[in-house]
Amino acid sequence: MPRPVPWMSALLYGVVLAGGLHHAAIGPGPDARTAAFTVLLGALAVLDGRGWRIPEGAVFALRAVLLCAVAAVDDSGLSRVLFVLIPFLGYFAFGPAAGIALGAGCVALLVGAFTLWVPDWEMRAEYVSDLLMFALGVVLALVTAAVAVREQQARDRLESTLAQVARLSAAGERNRLAREIHDSLGHHLTAIGIQLEKAEVFAALDPAGSAQAVSHARWSANRALEEVRASVRALGPEAESEPAGLSRTLADLVQHLEGGGRRISLDVSGTERRPLLVLYRAAQEGLTNACRHSGAAEIGLTVRYDDQGARLCVTDDGGGLGGAAEGFGLTGLRERVRLAGGTVDLRSSDRGTVLRVEVPW
């Protein structure tokens, strides 16, 4: 996995290089071992600073060899601190278990080296102190690696969650716009089609009725244009587009859909309260479906307001849905009402259809 703390290795290389050069300066002076020490540290920095296209295990093994070589030519002994990088980097490359095992192995190797080359080291305070400090460094390196990995995982989860939220938000907005287009523009285009069909049928038999149908179609076209312009201006919360005076708006809607052998009655009672737009869209969908599909002669629209909420009902005496599946309009209406906390009930038979919508305050 990518190493979340890339600066740690460079920091340790820099500290060890400065300490080794200082030791050489105050001692016998720089020599070939000092040059080799500097070159090997540079090779380690280059190895850590590039994305090598070789297996991680090979890079790790080469790094371990270079660390051993640095320790071999370092007269100051400071390079021992670099071995904490083996468990630290192993944690990222191979996982927590491997990192801990490598850390324990490094401590064990240092104990073995002291045992082989430093007689009675366990009785000498400086070597015991070095061992304890090295063991503490290994523990701190492993803790740092664990924290870095968990932070990286949390950041990845957050980015994934944000991406998912963005996708869901985009999908929700697309669905909202689709509902608006269907419920607003789609309704008015359907009404225009109905009125123009009426005008065509009655052109010769009833010129006045035909002219009225054309007038109603023109009203629907103007209304559609107004709603499209309002949507383009706002593209905001639905509440901003709520019709002012639902009773008057529904009366206009009924007036321009009525005719052609259909009679539409409107009955509104109670005091108007929000959500007006939800009720208006429900009335649009119910009346449009009744006018277009049912073949009804009598259509009724009632709206009731009380302390609990609003209830809208559209009834007709047409032939019903006839087993047909619900279209996008009804599906969108159910979603719109659900978001408002309400319910939709649709019942249909060969004697007519009843659409009930209830929305709480």
- Nearest CA to 254 among 319, 200, 217, 299? 299
Co-location of 263 and 336 in the same domain:
yes
Co-location of 111 and 186 in the same domain:
no
The verdict on residue 71 lying in a domain is yes
Write down the mean pLDDT value for the chain: 82
* pLDDT over threshold 50, residue 209: yes
What pLDDT, on the 0 to 100 scale, is given for residue 179?
Answer: 66
What pLDDT, on the 0 to 100 scale, is given for residue 135?
Answer: 93
What pLDDT, on the 0 to 100 scale, is given for residue 274?
Answer: 65
The verdict on residue 331 lying in a domain is yes
* pLDDT over threshold 70, residue 176: no
What pLDDT, on the 0 to 100 scale, is given for residue 80?
Answer: 84
The verdict on residue 261 lying in a domain is yes
Which residues on neighbouring strands pair with residue 352, listed in sequence order? 349
Co-location of 335 and 191 in the same domain:
yes
- Nearest CA to 291 among 262, 313, 314? 262
Range of the domain at 254: 167-360
What pLDDT, on the 0 to 100 scale, is given for residue 215?
Answer: 80
Report which of residues 49 and 135 the model is more confident about: 135
* pLDDT over threshold 70, residue 238: no
* pLDDT over threshold 60, residue 66: yes
The verdict on residue 209 lying in a domain is yes
Co-location of 171 and 158 in the same domain:
no
What pLDDT, on the 0 to 100 scale, is given for residue 104?
Answer: 94
| Domain end position, chosen among 163, 178, 194 | 163
* pLDDT over threshold 50, residue 237: no
What pLDDT, on the 0 to 100 scale, is given for residue 146?
Answer: 92
* pLDDT over threshold 80, residue 49: no
Co-location of 141 and 180 in the same domain:
no
What pLDDT, on the 0 to 100 scale, is given for residue 229?
Answer: 63
- Residue 301 belongs to domain with CATH number: 3.30.565.10
Co-location of 157 and 216 in the same domain:
no
What pTM did the predictor assign? 0.49
- Nearest CA to 80 among 4, 30, 134? 134
Co-location of 196 and 158 in the same domain:
no
| Domain end position, chosen among 112, 146, 163 | 163
Co-location of 172 and 106 in the same domain:
no
The verdict on residue 207 lying in a domain is yes
- C-alpha–C-alpha distance, residues 310 and 314, integer Å: 14
* pLDDT over threshold 60, residue 47: yes
What pLDDT, on the 0 to 100 scale, is given for residue 234?
Answer: 44
The verdict on residue 322 lying in a domain is yes
Co-location of 270 and 314 in the same domain:
yes
Percent of the chain at pLDDT above 90?
19
Co-location of 287 and 326 in the same domain:
yes
What pLDDT, on the 0 to 100 scale, is given for residue 108?
Answer: 94
Mean pLDDT on 208-223? 79
How many distinct structural domains can be found in the chain?
2
The verdict on residue 97 lying in a domain is yes
Co-location of 195 and 342 in the same domain:
yes
The verdict on residue 2 lying in a domain is no
| Domain end position, chosen among 115, 145, 163 | 163
Mean pLDDT on 218-237? 63
Mean pLDDT on 21-28? 83
**pLDDT (tens digit, 9 = 90+) per residue, 310-330?**
999 999 988 877 666 677 778
Co-location of 196 and 159 in the same domain:
no
**pLDDT (tens digit, 9 = 90+) per residue, 106-163?**
999 889 988 998 899 989 998 899 899 999 999 999 999 999 889 888 888 888 888 8
